[in-house]
Amino acid sequence: MDLLKILDTAPDPAIVDAQTMGVSGDTSGDYWLPASMCLYQKELTDQIVSLHYSDILKYFETSDYKEDIVIGSMKSMCLNSEYVATHPYLLIDHFMPKSLITKDIPGHLAETSGKFAVLRDLISLVQDYETHTIIMARSGRTMDLLEALLLGNKVNIVRYDGQTVKTKNKPKNFSCTCHLICSDNLEQLASSFSSDIRVDMVVCLDPTCDPENSSIRKIRLQNRPKRGTDSFAPAIRLTTINSIDHCELYFGKNLKKDSREYLVNVTAAVVVLRDIVGTLPPDLRPIYSQNLRYLSGWLNNPNTAWPLPDVYPISIYTAMDVEKSLLTEVNYSQTGNDLKEQFINDRKRRNKGHLKERSSLFYYKSKRIKNEYSTNPLKQDMAVLTWVSASGQKNGELEYHLATEILTHKLIQSIENIYDKNQKQKLELEDFAKMDPVQNQHYEKTNKDFIEIKDKYAESQKKLNDDDAKAKNLLRLSEDKHKEIECVDQEINDLMKKLESKTESHKLLKDLLVEISSLQNVNDREQRNSDSMSSERTYMKKEIERAIESIAESNKEQEKLKEEINQIKTEMEESAAKNQQEVEDAKQRVDLLKSQMKQEGENLGMLHSKLGYITDRLSKIQSSRGRQATNGRSKK
């Protein structure tokens, strides 16, 4: 027996009990299964965040950005992070294998994705049972990679999107059947999924899967008792820990996915947690190092409580946390990716290279983002050095960029704004100094106008007081006169009563006086009416005379217009006659030109006939001369 070889073998780490892990005894039927990340996935996640560096700063530090561009960039970052958390081949095309049906593909897919490795271990446990398992994922390439992974397990694969990576499938009959369903095409699932199947488990591969969808909920309930803990099939959400999947799962419980608060919290958590993305806590690592055999008991009886802790909470990070994380360098090590090596107490981890890496990282953190990076030998307050005061903040809140000892983009931007503001104030002071003489002239002129207005106001006020005194005097005189009239009326009434109390003749005299008074009043009223009618008659007479004059003027205007119309008619007739004569002359000239053209045409025809005759004569003459020349040469 080789004891040294046995002792050198890495021991299986012990799994802590459920109470130490913080298992809550959840029996809701909706569970999460955290997964890790390989080194390539972690580096891709950091690169995705780095590509959106400027947009992240605009989104968290400013408010005057273009929403369609910056928010679109944030959503693109989240979508790409989801792809990488599921499998990096969903984002990187050139690493995609040309063929997905070779024997080494399942192992290769599990090596390059922590989530696929967990799914492979889970299906390896389930394939020993006679079960029907639904696996939900995005349509397209995700379904192809999922089917290629399951080809390495002893399961029957049923795909419901009409596609397959293996065109020629040999008939196989395994106890476990995996139903691959697209998460974005669940409406057609009711017609294609058999109603005789009793589903035992639903596995959600990415955040697009919702086990509480009405179509999936119906399948989870079919062929099961209506009451009890076994009334529906349990659902397991494969979630990469500390990744976009984890953030969306946690914040999606309390926030709407289309709200700004949800996007802010998820984006901030993705940026800040990228240095520990896909890193399992120490309590869970033994479970994954033993290929999830810890879940065998729960798979035998899914009605029991879920043996893993609930979803780990995600903190709400501020804009300061996001910017500090962006300024911090993120380093990943290959050693931290292997779960078994985490439990090997090896002194090689403390070698010189590790110490050098730690020292460089320490220098980076201390000099790159601390205020020692700037010239501050006396360690003065940042508000004194930068001129940025916390008193200008809204609602009295403390400027956290000054409260910490970190040189951030926000602080640099604040300093730049203060300098710009100071420069603008200097320019304003210079403008005020230039405008000071002009303003003094304006002031003197305005002061002079004010004095003049003040004098006019005093004079008007004095006149108003005099008028008020005169008005009061006139009112007093009017009241005195009114009282005198009332006294006279009273005396008259008394005299009339005395006169009426005497003899009949006096009484008759009194009646006559009253009648005379009333007649006098009627006469006065009639006189006023007569005067009014007379003035109205005079006015109407003047109006009639004015109307007669207007009629006469209108008649004159009509006569004048008639004369002008007759004159225009005469001119039009003369012009028409002249035009008619011109038309006749033009017709005669046209007829003359036509006759001349006809004569010229006849002459041209005669010339053509003569020319033809001459041409025929010339051709005959030339032909006869040619024959004579030929005969002369033959005689020689």
Domain boundaries, the chain: 28-304+315-368, 408-480, 502-598
What percent of the chain stands above pLDDT 70?
A: 82
CA 319 to mean position of chain CA atoms: 21
**pLDDT (0 to 100) of residue 634:** 44
Confidence class for position 361, pLDDT limits 50, 70, 90: very low
Question: How many CB atoms within 10 Å of residue 140?
Answer: 13
State the number of CA atoms in the 13 A half-sphere of 81 facing the CB: 35
Contact 274, 44 (CB under 8 A): no
Identify the residue with better confidence: 629 or 206. Answer: 206
Please state, in angstroms and rounded to a whole number, the distance separating the CA atoms of residues 180 and 40.
27
CATH 3.40.50.720 holds for 28-304+315-368: no
Could you tell me which residues are beta bridge partners of residue 133?
Answer: 178, 201
Please state, in angstroms and rounded to a whole number, the distance separating the CA atoms of residues 343 and 286.
9
Residues near 209 by beta carbon (within 8 Å), at least 6 away in sequence: 136, 137, 183, 237
Confidence class for position 413, pLDDT limits 50, 70, 90: confident
pLDDT(534) > 60? yes
Q: What is the residue whose two structure tokens read 């005057």?
A: 64
- Phi, psi angles (nearest 5°) of residue 601: -60, -40
**pLDDT (0 to 100) of residue 354:** 44
Q: What strands lie across the sheet with 201-204, from one edge to the other? A: 30-35, 235-240, 201-204, 132-137, 177-182, 156-159
Please state, in angstroms and rounded to a whole number, the distance separating the CA atoms of residues 143 and 490.
120
**pLDDT (0 to 100) of residue 190:** 77
**pLDDT (0 to 100) of residue 558:** 93
CA distances 433 to 426, 427, 428, 430, Å, are 11, 10, 9, 5
- Phi, psi angles (nearest 5°) of residue 421: -65, -40
The whole-number average pLDDT for the span 89-104 is 87
Contact 311, 246 (CB under 8 A): yes
Please state, in angstroms and rounded to a whole number, the distance separating the CA atoms of residues 45 and 246.
14
- List, for residues 564-622, the tens digit of each pLDDT value: 999 999 999 999 999 999 999 999 999 999 999 999 999 998 998 989 889 888 888 86
**pLDDT (0 to 100) of residue 624:** 59
**pLDDT (0 to 100) of residue 115:** 96
Mean pLDDT rounded to a whole number for the chain = 83
β-strands 132-137, 156-159 pairing: unpaired
The alpha carbon torsion through 365, 370, 374, 380 (nearest 10 deg) reads -150
Please state, in angstroms and rounded to a whole number, the distance separating the CA atoms of residues 367 and 80.
32
Question: What is the enclosing helix (H) or strand (E) of 621?
Answer: helix 504-635
pLDDT(553) > 90? yes
Confidence class for position 628, pLDDT limits 50, 70, 90: low
- Phi, psi angles (nearest 5°) of residue 107: -65, -40
Could you tell me which residues are beta bridge partners of residue 34?
Answer: 239
CA distances 331 to 39, 323, 362, 433, Å, are 10, 17, 12, 58
CA distances 561 to 84, 549, 552, 558, 572, Å, are 96, 18, 14, 5, 16
pLDDT(353) > 80? no
**pLDDT (0 to 100) of residue 386:** 43
Note if the pTM is more than 0.85: no
Contact 328, 53 (CB under 8 A): no
Query: Three-state SS for 147?
Result: helix
Secondary structure letter of residue 274 according to DSSP: G
Question: What is the enclosing helix (H) or strand (E) of 135?
Answer: strand 132-137
Confidence class for position 2, pLDDT limits 50, 70, 90: low
**pLDDT (0 to 100) of residue 395:** 40
